[in-house]
Chains A and B, each alone.
Chain A
Amino acid sequence: DTGVSQDPRHKITKRGQNVTFRCDPISEHNRLYWYRQTLGQGPEFLTYFQNEAQLEKSRLLSDRFSAERPKGSFSTLEIQRTEQGDSAMYLCASSLPETPGGYTFGSGTRLTVV
């Protein structure tokens, strides 16, 4: 197992376009989290899954954001009608159920909206 994988590493998109990111967690980790991070800030919580169930979603998260984890393995994060303010690093993390805050982070997807 090579850790948490995220794809793509970089994405440049025009304002108004939709984008989708993928995360493959560590196989034995049943919890999966999505965060967004901008320069000089800590990771901002977006949503998390336990197996295929989406258990929590940040109130700050716009309706343009949606995430899925259909078979309890990989997850996708979609942003519709992107805005310049969506430009950030999108981080995925996974954890074991017995250490829910002990995350292993992926390398992230850097989104630039032009």
Chain B
Amino acid sequence: QKEVEQNSGPLSVPEGAIASLNCTYSDRGSQSFFWYRQYSGKSPELIMFIYSNGDKEDGRFTAQLNKASQYVSLLIRDSQPSDSATYLCAAPPIFGTGTLLAVQP
């Protein structure tokens, strides 16, 4: 059974801080990893994806992948209250349960 594990949170950070969201996966054969954001009552929307070990940056977001440790993370720099949402990690087609992020003004 393929699994993706996330801490459900909530993760609370002050406005302007770096939010760090983590995810582990069980299937060593997984090649690609995706981060989605889901606002309450809405559908998930794609933030970014990563295929290779190391870091990938897109604006305020940085995805990190360590295939040896089966670990994926998402860093959000200069967190804003509008970033408050549930962040879902996926090793398609499997999703984690999501981490609820709360950015305090």
Contacts and interface: CB of A to CB of B under 8 A. Distances in A.
B44 A45 contact: no
A108 B49 contact: no
A108 B91 CA distance: 21
Contact of A45 (B32, B34, B93, B97): B93
B93 A91 contact: no
A110 B36 CA distance: 20
20 contacts: A33-B93, A35-B95, A40-B8, A40-B97, A42-B4, A42-B88, A42-B96, A43-B44, A45-B95, A48-B93, A99-B49, A101-B32, A101-B34, A102-B34, A102-B46, A102-B49, A103-B36, A105-B44, A106-B43, A107-B43
Interface of B: 4, 6, 8, 32-34, 36, 43-46, 49, 88, 90-98
The 9 closest A-B pairs by CB, nearest first: A101-B92, A42-B95, A105-B43, A45-B93, A42-B97, A101-B34, A43-B95, A42-B98, A42-B96
